A and B are shown apart, each in its own frame.
Chain A
C-alpha cells in the first residue's frame, strides 16, 4: 500500500483524470460527445485486453458481448419500460451468459480456431437482430425512451466516472494475485496447472469478467446515445476498432487500451473530412503498429530495453 502512494503511475493517472474532469469547462459540446463515446470504447478495449492480454484468449468478436448487453438493455427499456438501472444490470447479466457460452468452445479449441468462432458469434447475433426485427428494430435499430442525461457535460462526467471505476477495477484485478494467476494461465497453461491452478476455472472467470464489463459498457452506451443499432454496437468493424484500440495502446497494460481507444476515436473524428477513407487510414496505421510495434505504443514505451 505504501509503495502504491509512491508510484508515479498513480500520480500521473490522478493528474490525467483531473484534467479530463475539467475539460467541459472549455471544450465544445461536440468534442465532449466524441470523448464520451471514446470513454465507453475505452471500457470495451480494457475488457478485451483482460481477456487477450491476460487469459491469452483472442476474441475477434468483442461486439458479441457488447451487443448482447446493449440490446438486452435496449429491449427491456424500449419494449417493457423497465427502469434504466435495472436494464443496465440485466444487460450485464445477459452478457455474462454470453461470455460463458463463448468460454465453452474456447477451452476446446486452439487460438486461431477460437478466433474464428468468436467471429461467427457476431455474425449469428447480427442475423438474429435482423430476423427478430419486430423486437429489435432490425437493421434500422431502435430508440430507447430513457437516456442517462440530455446535458453533454453530465453525460461526459458519467462516462468519465464509469471509465475511471472500470479502470480501477480492471487494472487492480490485473495487478492482483488473481491477475497473476490469469497471466500464468494465458502464458503457460501446463505450468499453471502444475503449480496447482485450475486453468479452466480461471479462463471461464476471465471470460465472465470481460463479458460483464463489455455488456455493462454497451448498455451504458445505448442509454447515452438513445439508440441501439447493428452499426453502432454489433458490426464487425466496431469489434475490429476495439481490437485496434487495445493493440495500439499495448496488450497487457489495461490502461494502454484506454489510451488507444481515445486516440483511435479522436483520430477517426479528426480524419472525418476524408470521408470513408478515415477507416482506411486508421486500419493502415494499426497494421503498421502490428508490423513494427507489436507491443503497442504504451507497451513499447514501458518495455523498451526489456525486449526479449
Chain B
C-alpha cells in the first residue's frame, strides 16, 4: 500500500523537479549561466498565476497561462537586467565572469523573493486544481490533479524534446551548447540563440512554478529551497546534461518521498543532500556530466 503511494507521489513530485531542473541545466548548457534566481522565477509564476486565477477572476486555466507568462517575463528580466550586462561588462575579467554572474543572480533572486513577499505576503498560496476529483489507483486514493500535473510535466518535456531535436531553431540551440564559435561561423547570431534559450527556460520554469502551486502550494519562502533543489539535482545528474537532470530528478524525488513516508517528513531533504555530498567527493562531474 505504502509502496504504491510512494511510487505515485514520488512520480509526480519527481516530474515537477525534473521540469525545473531541465530548465536550469539547459540555461547552463547553452548560455553558461548558473541562475541562482531560479526559485524566484518559479515563485513569480506561481504567485502571479494564483493572483490571476483567484483575485482577478480569470479561472484556473487562464490563471495558469498568465502564471507561465509571468515566469517568461521574469526570465527575460533576469537576462536583460542581470546576466547580459554582467557578461558584456568590460570591467570584469573573463575568468571572474561566471562568479559575478552567480553572485548577480543570487542577489536578483533575493530581490525577487523579498519583492514578491512585499507584494503578496509570505503566506503560501495554492492554485485550485485544474481537474477536480479523486481517482483510486490500485487501492491508493490519488487526486486527479496530481496525475494531471505529472502528465503536464511530461508533455512539456516532450514538447521541449521535439523542439530541440526536430526543429531548425532547436538544433541551433543544441549546436550552440556544443560550439558557439562554430555556430557563429555558420551565420547564426548568438544573441538570437540566447534569446531563444531564455524563452524556453522562462516557459519551463514558469510551468514548473504554476504546477507546483497547484500541487503543493508555493510561498516566497520556498524560493531559496527551490533553487537549492534544482542545482542539487543538476549537480547529481551532471551540469549541462538534460537526461542526467531527469534521471537525477527521479532519484531525488523518490528518495525524498520515501524518506517522508517511511522515516519522517521533517527529514525529507536529508538523503538527497547526503547523496549530493557523496557525488561531489567521488564523482564531481555528476552522473552524465559533460563540462
Contact = CB atoms under 8 A, between A and B. Distances in A.
A119 B106 CA distance: 11
Nearest to B109: A283
A135 interface: no
A276 B116 CA distance: 11
Interface string A266-308: 0000000001110110011011001101110000000000011
Contact of A283 (B95, B99, B107, B235): B107
Contact of A284 (B85, B95, B111): B111
Contacts of A124: 273, 277
Interface stretch (A12-20, A77-85, A104-112): A104-112
The DSSP consensus for interface residues of chain B is helix
B232 interface: yes
A294 to B, nearest CB: 5
B104 to A, nearest CB: 5
Nearest to B274: A124
B169 interface: no
Given A113-B284, A124-B273, A130-B266, A276 B114 contact: yes
A276 B117 CA distance: 8
B80 to A, nearest CB: 12
A280 B112 CA distance: 8
B222 interface: no
A236 B95 CA distance: 25
A110 to B, nearest CB: 9
B102 A115 contact: yes
A115 B273 contact: no
Contacts of A308: 93
A279 B114 contact: yes
B228 interface: yes
Contacts of B111: 280, 283-284, 287
A105 B285 CA distance: 12
B224 interface: yes
Given A60-B102, A115-B99, A120 B107 contact: no
Interface stretch (A26-34, A150-158, A237-245, A254-262): A237-245
28 contacts: A60-B102, A109-B280, A111-B95, A112-B99, A112-B102, A113-B284, A115-B34, A116-B34, A120-B273, A120-B276, A123-B228, A124-B273, A124-B277, A127-B269, A127-B270, A131-B270, A236-B224, A240-B106, A240-B110, A247-B103, A279-B110, A283-B114, A287-B107, A290-B103, A290-B107, A291-B85, A291-B86, A308-B93
Interface of B: 34, 82, 85-86, 89, 91-93, 95, 98-100, 102-104, 106-108, 110-111, 114-115, 117-118, 224, 228, 231-232, 235, 239, 266-267, 269-270, 273, 276-277, 280-281, 284
